[in-house]
A and B are shown apart, each in its own frame.
Chain A
C-alpha cells in the first residue's frame, strides 16, 4: 500500500527566498502529481511527473521526480505572496493507476 509523506507540513518564508518541499513515497509509483489548494477552494493541478528524472517548471515553481529515491520535490524560486497556498503531492502506486494517494499537504505562507 502506497504511503506518501510531505515535509515540511508548514512553511513560512519571506518574499524573494527559495525553498523546497519534499515528497517521499513508500512504494513504486507510476506517476507523481502536485496540486495547489487555496483556502476554501478546490484543488488545482500543477504538475504531472511521469518518469524518473522528469522535471517540469511553471513560473516560480519547479517539480522533479527521482523514482529510485522515491522522492519528488517542489522547488520555489524567489517566492511571492501569491504563492501562499497548500501544496499536495500524490502518487498512484502501481497497478492502481486510476487512484491517487495524497500526502497531508504543505501549507506555504509567503510573507512580505
Chain B
C-alpha cells in the first residue's frame, strides 16, 4: 500500500539521549515535512525538504536536525532530547506546488523524561 511509514510508533526517552525518528514515503513525492503536534497548539512545522539534498527550517527548528539523502527518506534527529520535546511527531510528503496537497504518516508519540 502506497503511503508514508514512520518508526517507531512510540518511544519513551531519557533526557539528554539522542533519538532519530524515521520517515519513509513510496509516493515519489519531492517534498517532505516534519511537524510536531501539541495540545492546544495544532501542528507546527519543524523542518522541511523540497527535494533530495535540500532542507529548510520551519517554525520550531531548534533542537532538531534533518537530512534528505534520497527522495524516500527524511529522518528527524533530536541530538540531546529535552522534556519540552515530548510531543506527537508527524511526517508528511507532497508534490511540489501547485499540486502540493500534503499526505501524513501515522505519527510517532515521543515522551522525554
Residue numbers of A with Cβ under 8 A of B are: 30-31, 33, 35, 41-45, 48, 50, 88, 90, 92, 97-105
A104 to B37 CA separation, bound complex (whole angstroms):
10
Given contacts A33-B102, A88-B42, A103-B42, 11 further A-B contacts (CB under 8 A): A42-B107, A44-B104, A45-B103, A92-B97, A97-B100, A98-B48, A99-B45, A100-B102, A101-B59, A104-B40, A105-B42
> Does B41 count as interface, using CB distance less than 8 angstroms?
yes
Report Cα–Cα, A30/B97, bound state, in Å.
Answer: 10
Q: Tell me, rounded to whole Å, the shortest Cβ–Cβ distance linking B7 to chain A.
A: 14
Contact sample, A vs B, 9 pairs, CB 8 Å cutoff: A31-B98, A42-B105, A42-B107, A43-B92, A44-B104, A99-B45, A99-B58, A100-B45, A102-B43
- In the complex, whether B96 has a CB less than 8 A from a CB of chain A is yes
Determine the distance from Cα of A33 to Cα of B103 in the docked complex, in whole angstroms: 12
Report chain A residues within 8 Å CB of B26: none
- Per the bound structure, the CA–CA distance linking A90 and B41 in Å amounts to 13
Q: How many residues of B contact A (CB 8 A)?
A: 27
* List of A residues within 8 angstroms of B103 by Cβ: 45
Residue in contact with B101 in the complex, picked from A42, A45, A88, A105, CB distance below 8 Å: A45
Q: Known interface pairs A42-B106, A43-B90, A45-B103. Does A97 touch B97 (Cβ–Cβ under 8 Å)?
A: yes
